[in-house]
Amino acid sequence: MNLPGALNLVEPLDRQTLGERAYARLADLLMSGRLAPGEKLSLRAAADVLGVSIMPVREAVSRLVADRALEVTPNRAVRVPLMSAAQFRDLTKVRIAIEGHAAAQAALHRDSGDLKSIARAEQAMRQESEAPVPDLPRAVELNKTFHFAVYEAAHSPILVEIIRALWLKAGPVINLDLRANPDRLAKGDAIRFHAAARKAIEAGDGEAAQAGIAGDIRGAADFILSRGGLAD
């Protein structure tokens, strides 16, 4: 993937809280799979695209390195960490436990606004998947929107913060894979699990909501592992 091309998907930043906003934009690139495992990040290119000096980008990158979403190589290059199959399996288990718990909590604590947000996100991704030629980058964004609409409905800021940290690590693998493999979207597993989770949350059924999100995460992970793209 061409890094400047990926960065061009980001709008320039306003001149306020630049370090924080640079962090949010770079984190979104990682969560959305726009930066691939092993890909190097040019601080200068990022600063130019975001319309800021290099200092806010350096601050944002330092935070992402501390989050272990980026790493500094021995020659001082900044890159997205590579992930082994064993690490990915471990991350998947943690995601199923934590994100499944968040879905169960959403079923218990959601309000009418949450239900509308979840329903809109679920419908938008379903419609995109049914398009003659689905827009895969848009599908990736809609997938993330649905998941976080569910997690926000748990009304636990700490839980959402933990999940965002997990997505920083998982995003470069799971979302890049979705963008590169339209058969994952066409197969419809994600759409089916999303619908099941939405219905369970509407019904206040925490166990079924947990099962829907867990099934979605597990299904995507099994697909990725079956392709053998991760190191042993």
**Mean pLDDT over each residue of the chain, to the nearest integer:** 89
Instruction: Specify if 231 maps to a domain.
Output: no
Tell me the pLDDT band of 140, cut-offs 50, 70 and 90.
confident
Q: Is the pLDDT of residue 186 over 90?
A: no
Tell me the pLDDT band of 169, cut-offs 50, 70 and 90.
very high
Least confident of 33-47, 93-107, 196-210: 33-47
Q: For residues 173 and 180, what is the distance between their CA atoms, to the nearest angstrom?
A: 11
Q: Is the pLDDT of residue 229 over 70?
A: no
User: In the listed set 45, 79, 113, which residue is the last one of a domain according to the structure?
Assistant: 79
Q: For residues 198 and 107, what is the distance between their CA atoms, to the nearest angstrom?
A: 9
* Range(s) of the domain holding residue 190: 85-226
pLDDT for res 133: 85
Is the same domain home to 91 and 137? Answer: yes
pLDDT for res 5: 59
Q: For residues 186 and 182, what is the distance between their CA atoms, to the nearest angstrom?
A: 6
Q: For residues 153 and 104, what is the distance between their CA atoms, to the nearest angstrom?
A: 10
Tell me the pLDDT band of 32, cut-offs 50, 70 and 90.
confident
Is the same domain home to 110 and 196? Answer: yes
Sign of CA dihedral 120, 124, 130, 131: positive
User: In the listed set 79, 105, 126, which residue is the last one of a domain according to the structure?
Assistant: 79
User: In the listed set 52, 79, 106, which residue is the last one of a domain according to the structure?
Assistant: 79
Instruction: Specify if 232 maps to a domain.
Output: no
Tell me the pLDDT band of 178, cut-offs 50, 70 and 90.
confident
The tokens for 101 are 């718990």
Q: What is the pTM of this model?
A: 0.86
> In the chain, pLDDT over 70 holds for what percent of residues?
92
pLDDT for res 6: 62
